[in-house]
Chains A and B, each alone.
Chain A
């Protein structure tokens, strides 16, 4: 039986790949390519956050009654990562390489520890609490996060 959160784990890797390409383009000073990649990275991150915030987390909260715990914390961290993405976009627009690198570094470390908390703690909790009662949730997640 497929694991419910498997597409989300996969998608973390996809977002990492886009981050790496975006950061490398900025390091090379290729700002037009960086803009294209940052837009793709931003869209991928938004797809990921939205899949969690509108599909997975509500299902988990309904199944467990836990609304102020781990899912709340993850939503707060999503907002912080959105802010860092804005910082990257601002630096890109200003062609400020050092500011871009600083925001990218901060986002990477923050995003990685966020992903590890999800993959090691929250996703297993979701897989356990939603086992057998996903009501098509797994198909929706797969569709929403289908990789190109």
Chain B
């Protein structure tokens, strides 16, 4: 079948929006959890509060936003046809909310049944989601760096799910499973194999498009996904045993690859032809700067072993990656995607020779810019709170505020969509 190049195959606007509108409120919950529990939450990645907060962000904020974005991105960017996207979203979205809430509750009250219930929810939701998105991604004739990264990202999501379910079973039942190694492999696949891979695949497409930068060099676009994938496979071998030192080598190569991708993106953005510095660009550059900071932080922890041996060092890396890279990038991307989708869907309703209000009328630039500044203060405050527990509560409150403001800005955009749609219909 020939592609018809139309947006008819794109999902109904409600499919991505239900995910986008939910995501920020998981960020609010994570911030409030930190504000409630205080500095203890950041003492180690293994304390229940840290695990709960982490999963509010990765299985709540990130997973919601990324699942919604991929539903929209696959048909438009790759021509892949997703089966019944509206219906799939209507099932996957609530299941993911329930599963994420159950998982967070399971960490906080350490109840075995809750772990298994959460795992069941994720299996149902991501099994369905992975199936339909996978069929679309493997059937499309499109080629190139984006499609390779998206396919590996989906594999990464399903591997993360499989490892997560194994961990949930291990936490709910007496077991001899190597839970610490499993957690490290699960986290690497989730953040590197799913999160960073999807971010790279989308960036190859949107960075040149939004800012008119040169395209990513083909060897970078193809090299980053495959190198990360190979490193993740080797990293996973720790489950059956790795030679001394190999784990550290893979760890630094992985962080180095991530930092390299961030540095390439920053360099391309510096060479952009378009000079307008919008809020979305500022968020994306913040994300890439944090990505570059990751390998340098890890090197610093090696150079200063008295700091590197502190359990807080891993928490620092986690905050830098999850809030610094992913929350920043997602926040910035939503500020481009939502106004454009509003416009795109509204223009289809307009009578001939008329157009809807422009993207800038969907979310006021001033509201986006101010929310960015709050995020820009919350991020270093969170990083500082890792080492100065007294800052944990204000950092949590400020991050909750930044996330809530994102949620309000997105809700206003949807409100404007409905308002403009009603006006167009009334005029017709």
Contact = CB atoms under 8 A, between A and B. Distances in A.
A106 interface: yes
Interface residues of B, number: 31
Contacts of A130: none
A117 B355 contact: no
A29 B340 CA distance: 25
A67 interface: no
Contacts of A122: 5
B275 A27 contact: yes
A145 interface: no
B329 to A, nearest CB: 18
Q: A interface, by DSSP: helix, strand, loop or mixed?
A: helix
A37 B77 CA distance: 31
A36 interface: no
A80 B344 CA distance: 10
B358 A105 contact: yes
B274 interface: yes
B296 to A, nearest CB: 33
B336 to A, nearest CB: 7
Interface residues of A, number: 34
Contacts of B361: 102
Interface string A113-147: 10011001110010000000000000000000000
B358 A66 contact: no
A112 B343 contact: no
B4 interface: yes
Contacts of A106: 340, 343, 358-360
A109 B359 contact: yes
A84 interface: yes
Interface of B: 2-6, 76-77, 79, 142, 205, 209-210, 212, 273-276, 278, 336, 340, 343-344, 347, 353-355, 357-361
Interface of A: 16-17, 19-20, 23-24, 27, 66, 69-70, 73-74, 80, 83-84, 87, 98-99, 101-103, 105-106, 108-110, 112-113, 116-117, 120-122, 125
